[in-house]
Amino acid sequence: MDCIYLPGQRYYGYTGALPEEQILGQWFQVDLKLWLDLEPAIQTDDLNQALDYRDVIAQIRYLFTSQRFTLVETLAGEIAALGLGFPQVQAVEVHLTKLAPPIPDYTGQITIQICRNRTAPPQA
């Protein structure tokens, strides 16, 4: 299985359990891996046979600008579902990082990792 890796995406969003996070917002980073078969694109050199990652990025950007969540886990799950929404994607790995979590005396980051696979349809 091949992988498209889209690291270092930064988005401003309004996700967090504290009221200030819902009002003021904050920066997040998304590192996304999408597993799929790249052979059709490799063989044809045709964008129509590939996953256009510009579409993936646009949908993630829209998610950050159009929705608010209380939990970072929920946002990470939505990004994973978005990735699996592309039919050629078989698995996703999302690392969603809150770059400056509002935790007293804490200067680190928090990252949620979500891994999801497309479920095979039941066998008849």
pLDDT, residue 32, reads 99
Candidates 57, 121, 116; CA nearest to 89 is 116
The answer to whether residue 58 is domain-embedded is: yes
Q: What is the pTM of this model?
A: 0.92
The answer to whether residue 122 is domain-embedded is: no
Give the tens place of pLDDT for each residue, 28-74.
999 999 999 999 999 999 999 999 999 999 999 999 999 999 999 99
* Residue 123 confidence class, pLDDT cut points 50, 70, 90: low
The answer to whether residue 87 is domain-embedded is: yes
> Taking the CA atoms of the chain, what radius of gyration do you get in angstroms?
16
Q: What is the CATH number of the domain that holds 74?
A: 3.30.1130.10
The answer to whether residue 79 is domain-embedded is: yes
Sign of CA dihedral 33, 39, 42, 46: negative
pLDDT, residue 119, reads 78
Q: Is 15 left (phi over 0), alpha (psi -120 to 50) or beta?
A: beta
Q: Which residues are part of the catalytic machinery?
A: 98
Evaluate if residue 121 carries a pLDDT over 90. no
pLDDT, residue 120, reads 60
Q: In whole angstroms, what is the distance from residue 118 CA to residue 90 CA?
A: 5
Give the tens place of pLDDT for each residue, 90-107.
999 999 999 999 999 999
Contacts of 88 (CB under 8 A, 6+ apart): 36, 37, 51
Evaluate if residue 27 carries a pLDDT over 60. yes
The upper half-sphere exposure of residue 68, i.e. CA atoms within 13 Å in the direction of its Cβ, equals: 13
The answer to whether residue 123 is domain-embedded is: no
Q: How many domains does the chain have?
A: 1
Q: Which domain holds residue 107?
A: 2-117
